[in-house]
Amino acid sequence: MTVIELLALLNEQGIAVSTEGSDLRVNAPSGTLTDELKALLVQHKSELLELLAKDPAEQTVAVQSILEGKSREALPLSFAQERLWFLDQLEPGNTHYNLPAAISITGALDSAALETALQQLVQRHEALRSVFATQNREPVVLRAEHLTLPLTQHDATVLTEEELQQKLTTLINVPFDLSSGPLLRAHLLIQGPGEHVLLLVAHHIIADGVSLSIVMREMAALYAVESGTDHSALPPLDAEYGDFAAWQREHLSGERLERELDYWRKQLDGAPLTLELPTDHPRPAGSKHTGGWARELFDEALL
């Protein structure tokens, strides 16, 4: 593991590192600093101190080198991606658009084959190797030619079911940095011999619910090949998401785009700026993004 990959791993756990003279200062949430991470910190201490001694601009360049061979070509976003980029600019570090997919794995697991399958999956889909930079105040997509994505392992042998759910929630709600990435994280929680949970977390700007389910199926297929239980290779992709984004931008531009925008401006002319619902609580000053389920049975006459 390189020092850059270690920093990415620490960031996933919400662990911050800084310098204090010749010492390394570590600020970690309770339960996240495992013996394995402590050993890695000791192993890479001198490299971390050297990197953290650089000025912020140099640090950014160094950390972004985790995206090996990043494409210099700036590509367009789809309109959906641009919306998500705007929302991230509006509220940096929010986790409202973190998409999780978790599966329980029972039986013997070849973790090396699983990690190889993960790397093959990332190489197969350029969206999983993409970051979103800003050029001339406009968002652009940058793609890495290669990206080594760590499969972070967690000891969950002593966790109760409730504690396991809390651990998953914590891992899901770690913010992404759209400009540096990676925008996909992979975690393997080890509950015991023959009991694992695989968790993938992606930012919504590179995936949605449907595509994330496809990613999980493809990873299972790649793992089957790597572990020797199947020999059916995945067919090559007909197109990448970037191809769709380029087509969409070309299709909806110029007069056609203005015509569509003008239609909706007229439809929404005079519409209220806020949706006023007849609730029994006043609208709060700010959004809390908390939600829940409320269930109530209504009698037929009321319905």
Question: Tokens 């919504």 belong to which residue?
Answer: 204
Residue 288 burial (CB count, 10 A): 7
Give the orientation angle of helix 45-52 with respect to helix 56-64, to 10 degrees: 130
Cβ contacts of residue 201 below 8 Å, gap of 6+?
A: 98, 99, 100, 101, 171, 172, 174, 184, 185, 187
pLDDT of residue 57: 43
Task: Go through the domains of the chain in sequence order and give each one's CATH number.
Answer: 1-65 (1.10.10), 68-243 (3.30.559.10)
Q: Supply 60's token pair.
A: 């950014």
pLDDT score for 60: 43
Residue 13: the pLDDT is 62
Asked if 67 and 144 count as a contact pair (C-beta separation under 8 A), the reply is yes
Confidence at residue 280, expressed as pLDDT on a 0 to 100 scale: 85
pLDDT tens by residue, the chain, 303 residues: 566 667 766 765 667 787 777 788 887 777 778 877 888 888 888 888 887 776 544 444 444 444 444 454 678 999 999 999 999 999 988 999 999 999 999 999 999 999 999 999 999 999 999 999 988 888 999 999 889 999 999 999 999 999 999 999 999 999 999 998 899 999 999 999 999 999 999 999 999 999 999 999 999 999 999 998 888 889 999 889 999 999 999 888 899 999 999 999 999 999 998 888 888 888 888 877 778 889 999 999 999
Q: Tell me the backbone φ, ψ of residue 284, rounded to 5 degrees.
A: -70, 165
Give the span between the Cα atoms of 4 and 180, in whole angstroms: 12
In this prediction, residue 282 carries a pLDDT of 84
Helix axes 209-226, 111-124, angle to 10 degrees: 130
User: 3-state class of 193 per DSSP?
Assistant: coil
Query: 82, 92, 18: which is closest to 49 by C-alpha?
Result: 18
Q: Which two tokens stand for residue 75?
A: 């590509």
**pLDDT of res. 8:** 61
CA distance 43 to 3: 9
